[in-house]
Amino acid sequence: MTARDQFVYFGYSLGWGTVRKLNERTAYRLFDRFADRMWRKRGPSVRQYEKNIARVVPGASQAELADLSRECMHSYARYWCDAFRMPDWSRERLLSLEVTDLHYVTEAQESGRGPVIVCPHAGNYDFGAAFLATKYGALTTIAERLKPEKLFEKFTSFRASMGVEVIAAGTPDIMEILENRATTGPIVGIVGERDLSRRGIPVSFFGEEARMPAGSALVARRTGADLLPVGFWYSGGEAKARIYPPVPVDMECDEQEAVRKATQLWADQIASGIREHPGDWHMLQPLWTADLDKSRDPWQQDRSATGGDQRDAG
């Protein structure tokens, strides 16, 4: 069971309603204790995080990596505690997220096209989606299906009530849906550094090859929407966010090359945010090519057979 599944199961077993009714301090304390229990077990997720974060903070000692993994588990626990409690947050609370350089989103909205926002699995990106949808009216995003299915339905129903449209990963014609949303105005938000399709764009990420989904750059290229990287983190227990300047998307060159260049640029930008707040990056799975089992990776076989042709990937 992955760390994500364990946190979901923990919250679900406590009872969605129970977690929501607890006072905030008690709820966070419960999730923090569970995070410490997972950290002490040093399961595959914790060990993989330390392997990942060693690339972000080269030269860190094993003790320093362990401290960062504990910080990460607490950050991840807070993310999930907030996810269960957010249905009861007031509009004022949803708009309380401290966002640096929000004007980039406002300027994109004023152009008539919704910006395409791409961010890493860091801090509280769900809070960011709720904030943007509440402030600007609508946001469309992609999410992996949670188990049990009933929980996924609860999460998507709640998000819909705030103007966040959730499209399940793997939905047919997902690129057409995202392009339509970006063209007609809603913000498109993609948590973008983990390639679930195994068909992503090879980029240099902290000095090593990793693959990033092509979807955000592809939507921006095809619609002319601004492509905005965003960073999320916690500071003193409070969620924070920063909007980075628009990533240039070449509208003149070949689409494949334009998407490749834009993907590398936004990967560089989110890397800078991760480097500033490494303990808030919730990457608990293998990400870099060197960590993936190539013998069981159909993407590698496809690249060998096709010469590395790019395919639509969200």
Per-residue pLDDT tens listing for the chain (314 residues): 677 667 666 666 566 778 888 999 999 999 999 999 999 999 999 999 999 999 999 999 999 999 999 999 999 999 999 988 998 899 999 999 999 999 999 999 998 888 999 999 999 999 999 999 999 999 999 988 877 777 788 888 888 988 999 999 888 999 999 999 999 988 999 998 988 777 899 999 999 999 999 999 999 999 999 999 999 999 999 999 999 999 999 999 999 999 999 999 999 999 999 999 999 999 999 999 999 865 344 434 333 322 333 333 33
Pair 34, 5: CB distance under 8 Å: no
CA–CA distance, 151 with 254 (Å, rounded to integer): 42
What are the backbone dihedrals phi and psi of residue 53, each rounded to the nearest 5 degrees, phi first? -70, -20
Report, as residue numbers or ranges, the catalytic residues. Answer: 121, 193
> What pTM did the predictor assign?
0.88
Enter the tokens of residue 92.
């004022």
Pair 215, 190: CB distance under 8 Å: yes
Cis peptide before 148 (omega within 30 of 0): yes
287 Cβ partners below 8 Å, 6+ apart?
Answer: 52, 193, 194, 205, 210
Local structure of 276: helix, strand or coil = helix
Local structure of 287: helix, strand or coil = coil
Q: From start to end of 3-53, where are the E strands? A: none
Instruction: State residue 312's pLDDT score.
Output: 36
41 Cβ partners below 8 Å, 6+ apart?
Answer: none
Instruction: State residue 153's pLDDT score.
Output: 85
Place of tokens 């999320």: 232
- Which sequence spans correspond to the domains of the chain? 3-291
Enter the tokens of residue 183.
């063209």
21 Cβ partners below 8 Å, 6+ apart?
Answer: none
CA–CA distance, 269 with 259 (Å, rounded to integer): 15
CA–CA distance, 156 with 159 (Å, rounded to integer): 5
Place of tokens 């009714």: 21
Instruction: State residue 10's pLDDT score.
Output: 63
Within 10 Å of residue 163's Cβ, how many Cβ atoms?
Answer: 19
Pair 280, 120: CB distance under 8 Å: no
Within 10 Å of residue 81's Cβ, how many Cβ atoms?
Answer: 24
Q: From start to end of the chain, where are the E strands? A: 98-100, 116-119, 139-143, 164-168, 187-191, 201-205, 208-212, 227-235, 238-243
Pair 132, 99: CB distance under 8 Å: no
Give the residue from 82, 81, 55, 84 showing the smallest Cα distance to 68.
55
Instruction: State residue 11's pLDDT score.
Output: 61
DSSP code for 159: H
Place of tokens 């995070």: 35
DSSP 132-143: HHHHHS-EEEEE
